[in-house]
A = this chain, B = another copy of it.
Amino acid sequence: MRERRKGFPRLTRIEDAQDMLRKRILHRIMEVEEIELIVATGRVCGEDVRSPMDSPVYDRSAVDGYAAVAEDTFGASPTNPVELRLVGRIELGVDPSSLPEIRRGEVVEVQTGGPVPLGANAIIPFEHARRIGERVEVYEHVRPLQNISRRGEDYRRGEIVLRRGWLIKPWHIAALASLGFRSLKVLRRPRVAILSTGGELIEPGEEPVPGKVYNCTRPMLQAMLLSHGAEPIDLGIAPDDVELISERVSEELARVDAVIVTGGTSVGKRDLVPEALSRISEIVVHGLAIRPGKPAGFATTSGKPIFMLSGFPVAALIGFQELVLPALELMLGCRFDPPPRIRGRLIRRVASPPGVRTYARVKVFRGEGGEILIEPLRVTGSGILSTLTRGNGLLVIPEELEGFDDNSEVEVILLSPLFEGDAA
């Protein structure tokens, strides 16, 4: 590799940085709050939840059909049907203990979910039988227990239904509701403060000023935090002053779970952030072997992380995904969903420096023949946001490769849905 004359003394590989995260971030979020089930999607389960009951609480039919004695149906076939006597119908919602027992030769009509009466040991689906007045002709045998959900088959009383650390999904909510719950204890939201640095920044909504640029990285990070169940706290734009930056971060870290400082994390003269952080914390990693996102890293103090991310949005996004999300997972003991991925054919070669993991922004679209095509977008610098609006994917080029040739089959992270038939 080329000698570095000015720049980061050493670039850390992303896996090594993530290993250090795991070793150094000791802070854990333990407090729980009880919330209504229907708003729990995306929150993290705060306790092992056990079933308070057997579910179903009685043997239940899994189909619409006739509750019967299985043995009565043996030998039934379309050419040689078995005839049974229909003695009633079970309404959903009736107390199972009030149902009369059925005897050999009898069947009772039952809907999916209805209780199986005493005496019956299988359900004949409607499709395999025909009703003729008070008689039912059966065309196919059922085995004992066939089409019956046994008491406790779904959950047994005392069994763990959801585990602490699970990211709650709508079907988890259904499982809890089916057991009578209407609320759930979830871990409180992680609080993450964002301090923007850079004398060139003005806030969106302000009048443009020659030479100043809008602080677009902060709102992106706020939105990223919100969509991962965290609470962003905006600390505004810090002055370019080592003392003030370290005071502000140190003060805030007592109140929050993590601080993100953006900008000023390179190694130029005005990059005060590493200096400011080194006064109040131990810098664990500074400079990642990734592109974009190199000037990123983290420090820790009392087991809590302070992240340094680029002020440039694309670089900050990669740094957020590779450092901040794993840190949130550690603090919450959870796993976020992986992003959707898609395979396709690269239509132009893409290069990456050796030893560096490159996140190439690409456009993923369906070509005329229906084939998924992947076009790398040309960029200059990590400030070019249009690669994430004209483009819709990230192609990760691992450290050990110097790129991919055109026509390679590659897998990309899909940031937004596929463009259809748009090769522009």
Contact = CB atoms under 8 A, between A and B. Distances in A.
Interface string A22-46: 0000000000000001111110000
A79 interface: no
A414 B180 contact: no
A115 interface: yes
A409 to B, nearest CB: 14
Given A57-B208, A199-B92, A389-B161, A223 B383 contact: no
Interface residues of A, number: 127
Contact of A178 (B115, B179, B385): B385
A96 interface: yes
A227 B170 contact: yes
Interface in A356-405: 380-386, 388-389
A384 B171 CA distance: 11
A210 B384 contact: no
Interface string A273-314: 000000000000000000000000000000000000001111
A385 B174 contact: yes
A153 to B, nearest CB: 7
B181 A204 contact: yes
A198 B411 CA distance: 46
Interface in A160-214: 161-162, 166-167, 169-182, 198-201, 203-206, 208-214
B219 A154 contact: no
A64 interface: yes
A341 B382 CA distance: 29
Which one of A58, A161, A224 has the highest number of Cβ atoms from chain B below 10 Å of its Cβ?
A224
A380 B162 CA distance: 21
Contact of A5 (B129, B204, B226, B385): B129
A402 B115 CA distance: 31
A173 B219 contact: yes
A381 B178 CA distance: 15
Given A6-B127, A219-B177, A340-B341, A112 B266 contact: yes
Contacts of A9: none
Best-surrounded residue of A173, A217, A382 (most CB of chain B within 10 A): A173
Given A93-B198, A97-B210, A112-B312, A220 B149 contact: no
Interface stretch (A67-75, A249-257, A331-339, A344-352): A331-339
Nearest to A65: B6
Contact of A62 (B92, B155, B381, B417): B381
A95 interface: yes
Given A340-B340, A389-B171, A40 B206 contact: no
A373 to B, nearest CB: 17
24 contacts: A6-B130, A42-B227, A57-B210, A62-B380, A62-B383, A95-B211, A112-B381, A161-B386, A171-B313, A171-B317, A171-B389, A173-B216, A174-B219, A174-B313, A175-B389, A177-B220, A178-B214, A178-B385, A180-B214, A181-B204, A182-B203, A337-B416, A338-B340, A338-B342
Interface of A: 2-7, 37-42, 53, 56-58, 60-64, 78, 89, 91-97, 109, 111-115, 126-131, 139, 147-150, 153-155, 161-162, 166-167, 169-182, 198-201, 203-206, 208-224, 226-227, 232, 266-270, 311-314, 317, 335-342, 380-386, 388-389, 414-417
Given A6-B126, A60-B383, A182-B205, 9 more contacts: A4-B127, A5-B130, A7-B126, A154-B384, A161-B386, A175-B388, A175-B389, A336-B417, A340-B340
What are the 10 closest A-B residue pairs judged by CB atoms, nearest first?
A62-B381, A93-B200, A177-B216, A174-B220, A92-B200, A178-B216, A6-B126, A182-B205, A170-B223, A171-B388
